[in-house]
Every structure is written in C-alpha cells, then in structure tokens.
Structure 1
C-alpha cells in the first residue's frame, strides 16, 4: 500500500522519542513492500539537531500549513494516512488530512497518557475530542483499559494498541568494557525527575564506589549531581548500542501520566532490552505483560532495591537477565512485529472505509 505519515520528526532524535520509533516501524513497514512518504514540519529546533539521513522512507519537509498543499496529490492518492501526536498545529493538520485523503486517516499517539491528560484539561493543540472521534483509527502507545476509554469517552470508532518497538538489527549486544554500573538515557522531564532522584541519584550518593551516568538534554543547571554520576548531553541513536554495552545495568523511568494509565512501555525500554542490557525499572500496571519480573527485568521502587542487584548479582546472572530480555524482544517486540500489526490495522481500516463508501453510494 501507499502510506503517508505526518509526524513530529523522522529527521532528529534530539529531545524526543518519536524519531527512533518512526524509523524502526517505517523501515520494517517498507520492507514488507509498502511505499511510505513522511512529511515533517521544518522547525528550527530539529533542523539544528538533525541526525544522519535515516533512509527508511521518502522524507520531505514543509514550512507551514499552506505548504502542505504541495503534497495534496500524495495524500489524496494514498491508501492510508497517519497523523502523529505532537505535530505542530496538529489539529489543523488533522483537519486537512481528513478533508484531503480518500483513504482512511489514522491518529498515531506516541504519547497517549499525555494526550488524554491534555484533553481532560481542555488543551487541544494537536488533538481535540471532535478529531478523536473522526479519525478512522486511533493507534495508541498505551494498551489495556485505555483503549476502551478512548472509544467510550472520545468516540473513536476503533482504538488499537500499537506499542513502540525496536530494530533488533540496529540494537544488538556489543562486547564492551563496562564503564558504568547503572545508566539512564532520557530527556529531562519534571515529572520523571523525582523517580530519577530516588532510583539513580540517591543510590549514587549511597554507593560512591559505583559508577553512574545520566545521558540526555535539557537537565537544569541546579541539579546536585553526585561526583560518581557522569553527565552526557546527548547520545545519538547510532551510539545507543555502545551506550548500553558500556552499562552493567540501565534504568527505565516512566512519566507519571504513563504510570497512571499503565500498559505504556517506552521505546528506551525495548531498545535497552534488545541490546541485552539488564534493566532496572520503576513499577507500573501492565509491565508484567511485556517482561517477566526477575527473569527478564528487575523492578525497583526504592534506592535499596536498585543497589541490591548492582552489588549482589554475579556476572553470569547479570548476563542471563540481559539475554532473557533480548529474547523477549526478539519474540514479540521487534519493528517487524509492529509493522505486521500496523499493516493489519490499516488493511482493516481500508476495508471498513470502502464498505462505508459503497453503502453510501447504494443509498444515494
């Protein structure tokens, strides 16, 4: 099929998890024989921090809503169109896509709990209740009960979980000398910071003999980093496997909205596991449906629960934990799995829309 995606960013992974998600998914989708065009708003922030061309599909930029008209023919002739979360002026982009496309238009929510919190607060910069009900398909990074809520409260005709995934060829184990006992890779977020304080910074204070690292942009200058915590401003996606290989363990920290919703894995969770890096994670509902606690992942709510595996797990057990995490990824969470799921969801949406159009013609 021919697919057009209007997403936040494919070109830059700086300060967002969308780019790596789209790259893995759309590469695998293209490998299934489909044609993909990704349209990205050309913003100064991402333009200043672009990664090397990911070359996963055709990528084009537009400056504003008016310039979207350049791509009218592509959107109109597409078998399906996807509009992503956090797209600048996303409501207007969605309205334009719905008016222009002949095939079904889906909303791909890479930020579902955040989106629902914003809708509840009356914030509608990239989605509003009317659009949620008019999109033919709502693809959600959050599964579980949230899917029923999207259909019941916001009138979506079809809400499906499409979790993030990982390119298991790009993210794979590497043999490196460990540089840190525990690392964390993620952009600063005020609602994640208390958990980072509790599960990494406080353990670092209590264990000065161990080595820690926090990598990611936008951390404020006032944070009191212990001397044994190394700071890296940014790690580009091609360097993620090296980063995880240099980590004896890595930490997964989840945003509060996602904890409240449950069933909301982050792309970093899957990427680290694909690299066979043992993960210590905060706790939320649904995590045990993705990884088996204690066998494929370690769950922690206190500094002591973090320090216990760092100090007590021997090297053989540590490696078994990492290898079990990677095995779970290869079995259920690769980009190839998600691309097959996306293909099925879109094919069903295409069939539903064709049936509705046929019924309308018969009635008229």
Structure 2
C-alpha cells in the first residue's frame, strides 16, 4: 500500500476552509485506489471546535499544535511516506511547512505541491523571485492544481515546474446527493460562500443586485463574515452552514448561485466545489460566467450561466417553475456520469504512477545532493 503524507488546512473542518470537501472527496477516492493517506493539519483558526466530520475510516489524521515544535514533529513524519504532499493555503507557516516536509522526505519519495488556489499562488511567485515555492519548484516532482487548465499549466512550467496537472473538483455521491427540503432553506435563490475580498464585487453584482431588484422574492445567504444590517431586507443570513446541511441547502431553494472569486473567474477552468455539490444534490445552479464552464456542465440545459445580475433576476422572474427542476436533474445525471471523485482518482493514480517511477529513477542523484 502506498503511504501518503498530506499537509493541508483541514480534513475534519470546513470552517473558513473551502477546500475541505475537495480534500475529502479526493482522499476518500484515493483510499479506494490503494493509497493510505495521513492528513496532517494544524490546530488553528478554531477549526477543531467546528468539525464537520470525525476521523474517517479512509484516512488517518494528525492534528498538530500550531507551534514551531508541533510543525517540526509533524514534518518529521514525512520521512515515513512514499508520497509527500504540501497543499497551498494551510494558513499557518506555509513556507516553513513546505521547507521542512520536503527536507524530511526520503530521496525516493514523490514530492508534490498541491495548489488549491493557483491564481493567488502564481501571482505571489511572479511578484517575489525569492518566494519559497518558486525557489523549490525545480526540485519538486509534480504540481497538482485544483483547476486552471492550460493557462495554469503553462504558467507553472514557465516558472520552473517539471510538470503540472489539474485535478478538478468533483462529486462524492455518498456525501452530496438529493435530500428532503428543509423549511429553513426555502427561498427563490440561495447562495453559500464565506465573505472574501476577492469575491466582494461579484457578489454585489450577482447576488445583492438581483435581491434589490426583486424585493418580493426571498434570498438566503450562508457562510461566515456577512453582516445582515448591510444587506437588502429580503436576504436572510444563516451564518456558517455545516457540510452535512449542504444537500438540503442546495435542494430546497428554487435555484442556488455560484459566484467565482475574481482570480478564479479570470483564470477560467476552475469550477468551485459548490458547482458539483449543487449538481450532485439535483439543485438548479446559476453561475456567473467563466471560461471553460461548458467542459463540466452544458449551459441552458444543465446549468444557467449569468453574465450579470440582471441575468440572474431574469432567470428568477421569467423561467417557469418546472424548468428549474429539469435543469437540476440534468446536471445530476451529468456529474454522476462524468464528474465523480472516483473518476478523478483514476486519473490521479495514472499521474502518480508515472511521476513515482521518475522520482525513483532520480533517487540516487538526490541522495548525492543531500550528502
């Protein structure tokens, strides 16, 4: 069994951690492929008191103290792994985690940086020639990304990466699926997202503007960081919505909204986790436009694509009620057929197998350099 040491933000909590669903889906599917993953996450940002899941049977979890000593102890465990992964966006000592875990990795281990926010990571590396990741890129075996397509692949290679492969978000049908509607989620449009500066203007356009234009319609907003007193009166703020409630949230409103962060929309080919969660629940998704959406869902048949807030308002006003359900069911059929994490894990296994063979061939040279 291939042992993987995975250093990321959190597997157990989605609190201020948008990558949680992605990590869970990928790692669970990797376990089915024969990988034994230990997820190393710092005890930071109060995530452990907001756990969505307990330690699953498909992964081991090491919650380490967010201190220099805790980091050193966690990083040392990389020496036991065949594959060592450092994910972006841990939020605590990211550069130091990267340095220490890759230094601890065995010469024959596969060394991977897994980028769950490629636009931000690439921007930082371009601005800072001394960025820790940028300096280490030539020594890493592989870059995996949450999305981005050819533009991100080219950018990473131009900065010195040996290879870069997108592993897109997907659906775990066991956790995200149709569910009975819940009265507390009744609305014409639901939107689930933490408040982030990189999304503020687009949220104002695609969510707040339609709410203001349709005072007779009901809107619900889930996620952390929102201030109800600054929003239109027909928006109900729910605060943090636990992952276990996402299915009902996506099923209950007439439609649910996805709004990409500015950088993700500009990069394209970066479907948010929310896209597959909503489709997997059979919800009708309205998304802002970003390049590449048609690779995942067919506009007007499996998803509604809005160019601005007026489009969102027009969908809610002009489409017959049954149309929303038809679009949601079409999306569900598509993601079950093509966009499950099992499919992604099959792709990932092929990529890792090839990269591991190259890493083992380079192991003697690595040993000489280390000496």
Q: CA deviation at 1:313?
A: 2.0
Q: Does the Cα contact within 8 Å between 1:97 and 1:105 map onto a contact in 2?
A: no
Say whether 1:91 aligns with 2:95: yes
Structure 2: distance between partners of 1:82 and 1:359:
21
**Partner SS state of residue 38, structure 2:** strand
Q: What displacement does 1:131 show?
A: 2.0
Q: Secondary structure at the match of 1:183?
A: strand
Tell me how far apart the structure 1 counterparts of residues 366 and 17 of structure 2 sit (CA, whole Å). 42
**1:151 offset after TM fit, Å?**
0.6
Quote the offset at 1:60 in angstroms.
Answer: 0.8
Query: Which residue of 2 is the match for residue 18 of structure 1?
Result: 19
Residue pairs, 1:171-320, within 5 angstroms = 171-176=176-181, 179-220=186-227, 223=230, 225-320=231-326
TM-aligned CA deviation for residue 180 of structure 1: 0.8
Whole-angstrom distance in 2 between the partners of 1:230 and 1:67? 41
Assess, with a 3 A threshold, how the Cα gap between structure 1 residues 124 and 57 changes in structure 2: closer, same or farther. farther
Consecutive unaligned residues of structure 2, counting only runs of 5 or more, are none
Instruction: Say whether the 8 Å CA contact 1:65–1:93 is kept in structure 2.
Output: no
Give how far 1:83 is off: 0.5
- 1:36-47, aligned counterparts within 5 Å? 36-47=37-48
Query: 1:109-188 maps to which residues of 2 (within 5 A)?
Result: 109-122=115-128, 127-141=132-146, 142-152=148-158, 154-176=159-181, 179-188=186-195
**2:110, 2:355 within 8 Å by CA — same for their partners in 1?**
yes
2-structure distance, mates of 1:310, 1:175: 22
Which blocks of at least 5 consecutive residues in structure 1 are unaligned? none
For the Cα contact (< 8 Å) 1:29–1:339, is it kept in 2? yes
Distance 2:7 2:213 in 1: 46
Residues 172, 263 of structure 1: alpha-carbon distance in 2 compared, 3 angstrom cutoff: same
TM-score, L = length of structure 2: 0.90
Preserved CA contact (<8 Å) 2:202 2:261 = no
Cα distance in structure 2, aligned partners of 1:192 and 1:360: 42
- Any idea what the Cα deviations from partners look like across 1:251-276, whole Å, max 9, x if unmatched? 11011111121111111111111111
Which stretch of the first structure deviates more once superposed, 340-349 or 59-68?
59-68
Q: For the residues of structure 2 that align with 1:123 and 1:235, how far apart are their CA atoms? A: 39
Give, in angstroms, the shift of residue 355 of structure 1: 1.8
The answer to which of 48-57 and 342-351 deviates more is 48-57
- After alignment, is 35-44 or 233-242 more displaced? 35-44
TM value normalised by structure 1: 0.92
- How far 1:229 sits from its partner (Å)? 0.8
Give 1:309 deviation, angstroms.
Answer: 2.0
Find the residue that maps to 2:350 and give its secondary structure: helix
- Secondary structure at the aligned position of 2:6 is classed as strand
Give the distance between the partners of 1:72 and 1:208, measured in 2 at CA. Answer: 53
Distance 1:21 1:248, change over 3 A: same
Aligned CA distance change for structure 1 residues 220 and 121 (closer, same or farther; 3 Å): farther
Q: What do you get for the CA RMSD once the two structures are aligned?
A: 2.3
Alpha-carbon shift at residue 150 of structure 1 (Å)? 0.6
